[in-house]
Structure 1
Amino acid sequence: MSHYDLITILGPTASGKTSFAAALADSLGTEIISADSRQIYRGMDLGTGKDLADYQINGHTIPYHLIDIAEPGYKYNVFEYQRDFLRAYEEIRGRGKTPILCGGTGMYIESVLKGYRLLPVPENPELRNRLAGKTLEELTRILQGYKTLHNTTDVDTAKRAIRAIEIEEYYTHTDVNERSFPQLNSFIIGLDIDRELRRQKISQRLQQRIDEGMIDEVRRLIDQGIHPDDLIYYGLEYKFLTLYVIGQLSYDEMYHGLETAIHQFAKRQMTWFRGMERRGFTIYWIDATLPTEEKIALVKEKIKEI
């Protein structure tokens, strides 16, 4: 495995990425770097599906990184992710281990595997004032003038759309070549799960997390002073649950709307990962339903072959 800098495990939500990554890390004696854009936030546990119990293997905790590193309400970005990833990566490599990158946020994964050259983008008050009051549809059209929208997350809310426009406008006038990122050679594993099984697991998981107190988690965050708009900004669970908590959705509207949104999100994740293959990445797909020991054996055998 010495010719690989990194092992990457990706797949749609509810495909079992975390539990498999933890088992593989235990087998290889290594550590995990998370690639989830929302699990970085403290206190946002059930809504982001952290599943921290999955890191408990054979009586010990598999070391993990980039989880619980920011306060809720903060607008963490891809530039910061690259920076924090590189810090964790170099620490793990310094211990003589090959890190495992695991998650479902395609942009985060590709930003480090492809070495995107990014710069921190400051707020642009003048641009924000010009965009204030525009409808989400109008903002979407403006953003489409900068780039093709592969992911609708950028236009999930007006606030997100304005930030996306702000970023694109900044890069039209700024040379990104001044910031470099190392080229990493990663063995990429994709967990492939049947669409109907994926839908079933998503629905079961949603009900389980609600039963475990996901709505109360949102109430607690609001009680701690997090503005509802800031939670809605994070999309998916936090968007629908917050709208329910503040009385803008009924329980049924929240539940069925969220269930549909998560199914659509999983579909978009797979679209991104298939797009990565078209963009030159080789992904070794494994049946997500195979026993963990069999998946680990397949990975080890494939690494030997390459």
Structure 2
Amino acid sequence: MAVFQQPPFNLLTILGPTASGKTRLAVALAGEMNGEIISADSRQVFRGMDIGSGKDLHEYGAIPCHLIDILDAGEEFSVFAFQRLFIEAFESITARGRLPLLCGGTGMYLDAALRGYRLVEVPEDPALRTELGTRSDAELAAMLRELRPEQHNSTDLADRQRTIRAIEIARHEQNRPTETEPFPPVRPLVIGIRWERSELRRRITERLRQRLDNGMIEEVQGLHNQGITWERLSYYGLEYRFVGAFLRGELTRNDLFQKLNSAIHDFAKRQETWFRRMEKNGVTIHWVDGAGDPLAEARRIVGERREW
């Protein structure tokens, strides 16, 4: 009697730091493997935030993509919401007999999809928010670090409302341990793109120049003209924060480029730190050389796994 064997993987994941070429590799593999792409990016979900979030929509061609342009700019999005939508997309793609490819660099989102734990939505706590509203930014940062000694997501510390929400979530998790909920049978194969640090810095710098020349400043101004406050735009990350400061007259054009470029380089280092932490937590990442032939290397890795 033949024994049924499940395929060795049912989710292919492409990750890497910003400007590493993740989308291009994911699209190429999706085209060869009857795949559809699920974006793991905290900002590409928003319509109208194209250049600042690095959507690179032109690279997708005819490949279906999910979790891009699903919300209006100005709305909020969370890791909980991402995980729920990821599971829906994963199950839908799989049911059609196609291969889901998860592609992105937002560490928390990748973790939420790959590590097999179900997140629970944390309700707002008005009493706690009132109490925290009287605290200084420094006090809030200290509280969050005490609740989460491993805190590494500096974005939560760059915006007061994000810090308060992070404390709210940490308090909830501490006081009400959540029961494990069922998670889809995800069997991931994870491929990461790696570059020499100097070459990645060059790519980041060149990409930033292109984005500034191709309308990123005008995109941010347009979003503000639509009624999105500078504070809310700052919440969406580095590009929107620094371009907003430039548009308010707080930075010169040269300062905008230099400061934003440096901040993105630092962000890429934090992404790489997160990927190393993922590996320590049991996620096997098969690294390919971005400067070589990452598609050929990825094909080899996929082929080896399919032979298991």
TM-score under structure 1 length normalisation: 0.94
Partner of 1:204: 206
Amino acid of the structure 1 residue aligned with 2:167: I
Are the aligned partners of 1:106 and 1:272 in contact in 2 as well (CA < 8 Å)?
Answer: yes
Question: Counterparts in 2 of 1:55-134, with a 5 A limit?
Answer: 55-56=60-61, 61-134=62-135
Distance 1:4 1:293, change over 3 A: closer
Q: Compute the displacement of 1:292 (Å).
A: 5.2
Q: Which secondary structure does the structure 2 equivalent of 1:149 belong to?
A: coil
Identity %: 46
Amino acid of the structure 2 residue aligned with 1:64: C
Are the aligned partners of 2:288 and 2:298 in contact in 1 as well (CA < 8 Å)?
Answer: no
Question: Counterparts in 2 of 1:263-278, with a 5 A limit?
Answer: 263-278=265-280
TM-score under structure 2 length normalisation: 0.93
Q: Compute the displacement of 1:4 (Å).
A: 0.9
Are the aligned partners of 1:65 and 1:88 in contact in 2 as well (CA < 8 Å)?
Answer: yes
Distance 1:20 1:77 in 2: 26
Point out the more displaced range, 248-257 or 221-230.
248-257
Distance 2:295 2:16 in 1: 18
Report the count of equivalent residues.
302
Partner of 1:243: 245
Distance 1:76 1:285 in 2: 30
Match among 7, 31, 34 for residue 36 of structure 2:
31
1:286 correspondence with 2:288: yes
Q: Compute the displacement of 1:204 (Å).
A: 0.3
Amino acid of the structure 2 residue aligned with 1:289: A
Amino acid of the structure 2 residue aligned with 1:50: K
Q: Tell me, which stretches of 5 or more residues in structure 1 are unaligned?
A: none
Distance 1:289 1:138 in 2: 44
Amino acid of the structure 1 residue aligned with 2:126: P
Distance 1:128 1:249, change over 3 A: farther
Point out the more displaced range, 17-26 or 288-297.
288-297
Match among 19, 22, 47 for residue 24 of structure 2:
19
Distance 1:167 1:30 in 2: 35
Are the aligned partners of 1:16 and 1:288 in contact in 2 as well (CA < 8 Å)?
Answer: yes
Q: Compute the displacement of 1:144 (Å).
A: 0.9
Distance 1:269 1:25 in 2: 24
1:169 correspondence with 2:171: yes
Q: Which secondary structure does the structure 2 equivalent of 1:171 belong to?
A: helix
Are the aligned partners of 2:21 and 2:290 in contact in 1 as well (CA < 8 Å)?
Answer: yes
RMSD of the TM alignment (CA)?
A: 1.6
Amino acid of the structure 1 residue aligned with 2:156: D
Partner of 1:233: 235
Amino acid of the structure 2 residue aligned with 1:31: E
Distance 1:128 1:248, change over 3 A: farther
Are the aligned partners of 1:113 and 1:183 in contact in 2 as well (CA < 8 Å)?
Answer: no
Q: Which secondary structure does the structure 2 equivalent of 1:99 belong to?
A: strand
1:50 correspondence with 2:55: yes
Q: Which secondary structure does the structure 1 equivalent of 2:75 belong to?
A: coil
Q: Which secondary structure does the structure 2 equivalent of 1:191 belong to?
A: strand
Distance 1:161 1:245, change over 3 A: same
Amino acid of the structure 2 residue aligned with 1:93: T
Q: Which secondary structure does the structure 1 equivalent of 2:54 belong to?
A: coil
Q: Compute the displacement of 1:228 (Å).
A: 1.1
Q: Compute the displacement of 1:68 (Å).
A: 0.6
Q: Compute the displacement of 1:187 (Å).
A: 0.6
Distance 2:256 2:189 in 1: 39
Are the aligned partners of 1:156 and 1:235 in contact in 2 as well (CA < 8 Å)?
Answer: no
Are the aligned partners of 2:7 and 2:306 in contact in 1 as well (CA < 8 Å)?
Answer: no
